[in-house]
Amino acid sequence: MPRPRFHTLPRERQQTILHAALDEFSAHGFAGASLNRIIAEAGISKGSIYYYFDSKEDLYAHLLREQVEQLIVRVGPFSVPAATEPDAYWSTIENHCLRLVRAYDASPQLANLLRDWMSGTGAPAIENAQRDAELSALPWMTRALAAGQSIGAIRTDIPDALLLAIGMAIGRVIDSWVIAEAPDPREHAAAVHTIVDILRRAIQP
């Protein structure tokens, strides 16, 4: 997390630092990134970065949170499926997934950043950022689960916590496939359909 001083900076100044960090981390990955290059591009003094972040890991983790939040704003909002029958419900879920996939494809810097993130650094701050991203999706997933169960699109004979865990796992598959494999955009719709169909078969009655 940023230090309190970072949040007292003008928003424009915060964005200058984060844009410099995005350029560096997306181009070189976490391991190859240089705080000195970020500092130079952002136009801040060498020691001041540590007034704002404890470490390179903290800056990287905060950048991840910011980028994921901005992605959701650009793509969203995601409505909870309001369908009255299972096929329409799953079609809505598939459309939501496809929108995310296409948003990744439209932002090469974000895709590079997330690809590096998924390669794993083992840093606690970065693992916490991943957990935060998943937890932020949990309220929507819980509502979507209840909506699906109410119309017979999702089974009710196993605990909701297990159903949500399965949904999270499939979500990671979609993310890792899109980001790590960087498939041809022309294949996105067919691939998302296949993955959502796997999820549907796993949790439908």
Residue 64 domain flag:
no
Question: Using one digit for the tens of pLDDT, what is the confidence trace for 58-81?
Answer: 899 889 888 888 887 777 777 888
At 182 the pLDDT is 59
**Same-domain status, 92 and 136:** yes
Residue 72 domain flag:
no
At 157 the pLDDT is 95
Number of domains making up the chain: 2
Residue 110 domain flag:
yes
At 178 the pLDDT is 66
Range of the domain at 174: 80-203
Q: pTM of the full predicted structure?
A: 0.76
CA proximity to 130, closest of 200, 68, 79? 68
At 47 the pLDDT is 84
**Same-domain status, 96 and 52:** no
At 120 the pLDDT is 66
At 19 the pLDDT is 96
pLDDT tens string for the chain (205 positions)?
A: 789 999 999 999 999 999 999 999 999 988 899 999 999 999 998 888 999 998 888 899 889 888 888 887 777 777 888 889 999 999 999 998 888 888 877 788 888 887 777 776 656 666 777 777 777 778 888 999 999 999 999 999 999 999 999 888 887 777 677 666 656 777 778 888 888 998 899 999 9
CA proximity to 14, closest of 47, 55, 48, 46? 48
At 194 the pLDDT is 87
**Same-domain status, 28 and 117:** no
**Same-domain status, 145 and 98:** yes
CA distances from 62 to 1, 56, 108, 129 (A): 6, 10, 19, 7
Residue 37 domain flag:
yes
**Same-domain status, 46 and 92:** no
**Same-domain status, 43 and 129:** no
